[in-house]
């Protein structure tokens, strides 16, 4: 009995601790996009042209680059994950979803551009003044043209052609003074295709380095000849001499309409493997820049296979509906259980609550630490698991009733039935678990989320049954009070003297 009591107290303590931790840590289940609104897109890599296999590494790099891009959009909490061969991008919130979806899968180029100037505080002031004046409609004639020129000069043009000057934002500096105006992308000396410009093709690799004097820096290595170091040296010479094409003396590295870095050029000519981009980089910044230089363009061509935009109203509606359906479901099941099994029903409900509390803690923890979102499919999985959890109770209770009908006292029936019923429950739950594991491993998307939550609920059902439901009923049956001895407490009908059809009597031979 002591052991039973330990189990019951133990599992209640664990559930309460779990809930307390969940609340204390502010963990909440992370809602999927179908429940909170937002955009998601599944990207699938196109087969590589030379029939090579797509490696895990390439996919991971693509994920990193896409994450950078989405972060650059200023979206809150984007979620970029690999799912087998595909990449799932999830963007909560409602602003600019279509643009985000369009952008994530594009293969963008890395470009080198001479910097003309970077915005200053004065530029910001005059830009804002000009913009305000135009919007107020105070200006006309020459004053309007002049104001318009100031605005145009500093308006971002991330989509400008490579042959045009453009104004781009520094990726790590979203303020006005992070705007850089730069010239067209220079053409290469020996183009492989007509009009070829200086892009990431000229780079061989890049690595983040550390030394004591300079701290973290990035060392790019160009390919020899052209396109390669020769072309870079043309632009370096122009910048180093502050020629009109490069008055700021800096070279900007552009990816996806953002400036990754715009280092000053302090030599007219470089060896292809002797270049260092230094600055007050942190380790992370240096590594990000090296990554960007290495794979400025996505290493893969990705095609959107499934894109989904859920408006936040529909999402919230679905969440409300899911929660309400769950609550009503629990209520109906509770009424039925109490009506049929009386006090056993109460035990079953508490058992359900315990596995529910554990499940909530786990789901919230997974959401907070693993970024695992609860989708509508997951919610349905949870609602379904209410029924499955109660099944285990029913299996035990019916066994109990049968034993009592077979002539046992409640106390001995309780003792005897549990191991037998539990063995049945384990067999049945293992089959569910097999289903969950197979589905989780072999499928994608919604089915996967469903399988995960169903599997979790099944395991917790086994735990709650073994450590709570079983022990509590044993304790109850052993209590020295009238209530514990009455069969009606257990929803067991009073035994009659003889069943109507039992004509034959006599001992077992």
Partner 1 sequence: MKTLRMLFRNEHHFDFPAMWRTALVGSAVLVLISVGALVFRGLNLGIEFEGGTAWEVTAPGVSVADTRDALGGTGAESGKIQTLGSDAIRVRADLDTQDEVAVVTATLAELASVDVTDVSVTTVGPSWGDQITSKARNALFWFFIIVAGYIAVRLEWKMAVGALVAVAHDIVISVGVYAIFQFEVTPATVIAFLTIMGYSLYDTIVVYDKVRDVGGRLTVTGRYTYSEMMNQSLNQVLMRSINTSITSVLPVLSMLLIGSVFLGALTLQEFAIALLIGILVGTYSSVFVAASVVAYMKEREAENRAVADKIRAREGESGTRRVSEDDVALAGIPTTRERPSSSGGRTSSSQRSPRGQAAQRGAAAKRTQASARTGQPPKPRKKKKS
Q: Which tokens go with 102? A: 């369009």
Is residue 501 within the footprint of partner 1 (CB under 8 A)? yes
When asked if residue 106 is in the footprint of partner 1 (CB under 8 A), the reply is no
308 binds partner 1 (CB under 8 A): yes
User: Between 173 and 412, whose beta carbon lies closer to partner 1?
Assistant: 412
> Of 1 and 142, which CB lies nearer to partner 1 in the complex structure?
1
The pair of structure tokens assigned to 42 is 């599944």
Locate all alpha helices (DSSP H) within 167-311, ordered by sequence: 229-240, 283-294
> Roughly how many angstroms between the first and final C-alpha of the chain, as a whole number?
37
**Pick 42 or 70: Cβ nearer partner 1:** 42
Cα→Cα distances 318→13, 39, 94, 180, 239, Å: 33, 16, 17, 45, 58
**Residue 170 Cβ, how far from partner 1 at the closest point, in Å?**
28
DSSP secondary structure letters along 365-434? HIIIII--EE-HHHHHHHHHHHHHHHHHHHHHHHHHHHHHHTT--HHHHHHHHHHHHHHHHHHHHHHHHH
Using CB under 8 A, pick the residue from 338, 435, 463, 475 that binds partner 1.
Answer: 435
Count of alpha carbons within 13 Å of 325, Cβ hemisphere only?
A: 15
Q: Say how many residues touch partner 1, by CB under 8 A.
A: 114
Q: Considering the complex, what minimum distance in angstroms separates the CB of residue 85 from partner 1? A: 9
Q: Choose which of 295, 422, 468, 490 interacts with partner 1 (CB under 8 A).
A: 422
Q: Is 346 in the site for partner 1 (CB under 8 A)?
A: no
Contacting residue, 15, 31, 32, 34, with partner 1 by CB under 8 A = 34
How would you classify residue 454: left for phi > 0, otherwise alpha for psi between -120 and 50, otherwise beta?
A: alpha
Triad 288, 106, 250: Cα angle to 5°? 45
Q: Which stretch binds partner 1 (CB under 8 A): 228-236, 260-268, 275-283, 373-381?
A: 373-381
Cβ proximity to partner 1, 27 vs 36, nearer residue: 36
Minimum CB distance to partner 1, residue 143 (Å)? 36
Residues in the chain: 509
Q: How many CB atoms lie within 10 A of CB 438?
A: 11
Instruction: Determine the interface stretch with partner 1 among 22-30, 149-157, 287-295, 488-496 (rule: CB under 8 A).
Output: 488-496
In the complex, the smallest distance separating the C-beta of residue 15 from partner 1, rounded to whole angstroms, is 20
Sites for partner 1 among residues 380-419 (CB under 8 A): 380-381, 383-384, 386-388, 390-391, 394-395, 398-399, 401-409, 411-412, 414-416, 418-419
Regarding 326 and contact with partner 1 (CB under 8 A), the answer is yes
Q: Does 488 bind partner 1 (CB under 8 A)?
A: no
Distance, in Å, from the CA atom of 480 to the CA atom of 470, rounded to the nearest integer, reads 18
Query: Under the criterion CB under 8 A, does residue 481 sit at the interface with partner 1?
Result: no
CB of residue 236 to partner 1, shortest distance in Å = 40
The nearer residue to partner 1, 250 or 474, going by C-beta atoms, is 474
Regarding 20 and contact with partner 1 (CB under 8 A), the answer is: no
Please select the residue that binds partner 1; options are 434, 479, 483, 488, rule is CB under 8 A: 434
Q: Does 431 bind partner 1 (CB under 8 A)?
A: yes
- Tell the smallest beta-carbon distance from residue 257 to partner 1 (Å): 18
Partners of 82 in the β-ladder: 87
Interface with partner 1 (CB under 8 A), residue from 61, 215, 329, 342: 329
SS (H, E, C) 181-222: EECCCCECCCCCCCCCECEHHHEEEEEEEEECCCEEEEEEEE
Q: Say whether residue 463 binds partner 1 (CB under 8 A).
A: no
Say whether residue 351 binds partner 1 (CB under 8 A).
no
Q: Is 453 in the site for partner 1 (CB under 8 A)?
A: no
CA distance 290 to 277: 10
Using alpha carbons, list the distances in angstroms from residue 229 to 182, 265, 426.
21, 14, 68
Binding residue (CB under 8 A) for partner 1 from 14, 139, 444, 463: 444
Among positions 40-79, residues that touch partner 1 (CB under 8 A) are: 42, 44
Q: Which residues contact 127 (CB under 8 A, 6 or more apart)?
A: 119, 150, 151, 153, 154, 176
For partner 1, give the closer residue by CB, 139 or 484: 484
């Amino acid at each position: 009995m002591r052991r039973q009591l330990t189990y019951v107290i133990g599992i209640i303590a664990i559930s309460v601790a779990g809930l307390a931790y969940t609340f204390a840590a502010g963990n909440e289940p992370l809602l999927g996009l179908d429940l909170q609104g937002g955009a998601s897109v599944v990207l699938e890599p196109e087969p590589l042209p030379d029939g090579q296999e797509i490696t895990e590494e390439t996919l991971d790099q693509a994920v990193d680059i896409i994450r950078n891009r989405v972060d650059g959009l200023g979206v809150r909490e984007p979620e970029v994950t690999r799912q087998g061969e595909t990449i799932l991008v999830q963007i909560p919130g409602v602003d600019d979803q279509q643009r985000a979806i369009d952008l994530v899968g594009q293969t963008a180029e890395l470009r080198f551009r001479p910097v003309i100037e970077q915005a200053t505080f004065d530029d910001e002031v005059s830009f804002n003044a000009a913009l305000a004046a135009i919007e107020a409609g105070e200006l006309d004639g020459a004053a309007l043209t002049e104001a318009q020129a100031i605005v145009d000069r500093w308006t971002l043009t991330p989509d400008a052609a490579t042959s045009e000057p453009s104004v781009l934002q520094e990726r790590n500096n979203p303020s006005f003074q992070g705007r850089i105006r730069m010239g067209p992308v220079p053409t290469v000396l020996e183009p492989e295709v007509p009009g070829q410009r200086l892009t990431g093709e000229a780079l061989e690799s890049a690595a983040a380095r550390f030394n004591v004097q300079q701290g973290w820096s990035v060392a790019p290595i160009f390919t020899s000849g052209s396109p390669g170091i020769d072309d870079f040296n043309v632009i370096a010479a122009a910048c180093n001499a502050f020629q009109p094409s490069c008055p700021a003396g800096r070279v900007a590295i552009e990816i996806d309409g953002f400036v990754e870095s715009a280092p000053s050029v302090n030599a007219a000519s470089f060896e292809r493997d002797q270049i260092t981009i230094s600055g007050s980089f942190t380790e992370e910044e240096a590594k990000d820049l090296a990554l960007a230089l290495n794979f400025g363009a996505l290493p893969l061509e990705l095609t959107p296979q499934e894109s989904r935009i859920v408006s936040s109203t529909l999402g919230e509606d679905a969440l409300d509906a899911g929660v309400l359906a769950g609550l009503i479901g629990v209520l109906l099941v509770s009424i039925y259980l109490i009506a049929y099994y009386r006090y056993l029903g109460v035990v079953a409900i508490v058992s359900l609550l315990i596995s529910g509390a554990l499940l909530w803690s786990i789901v919230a923890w997974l959401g907070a630490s693993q970024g695992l979102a609860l989708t509508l499919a997951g919610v349905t999985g949870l609602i379904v698991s209410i029924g499955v959890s109660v099944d285990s109770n029913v299996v035990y209770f019916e066994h109990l009733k049968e034993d009592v009908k077979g002539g046992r006292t409640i106390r001995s029936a309780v003792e005897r039935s549990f191991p037998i019923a539990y063995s049945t429950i384990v067999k049945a739950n293992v089959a569910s678990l097999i289903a969950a594991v197979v589905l989780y491993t072999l499928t994608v998307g919604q089915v996967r989320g469903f399988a995960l939550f169903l599997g979790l609920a099944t395991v917790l059902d086994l735990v709650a049954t073994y450590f709570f439901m079983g022990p509590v009923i044993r304790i109850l049956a052993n209590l020295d009070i009238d209530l514990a001895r009455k069969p009606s407490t257990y929803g067991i009908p009073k035994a009659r003297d003889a069943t109507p059809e039992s004509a034959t009597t006599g001992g077992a031979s």
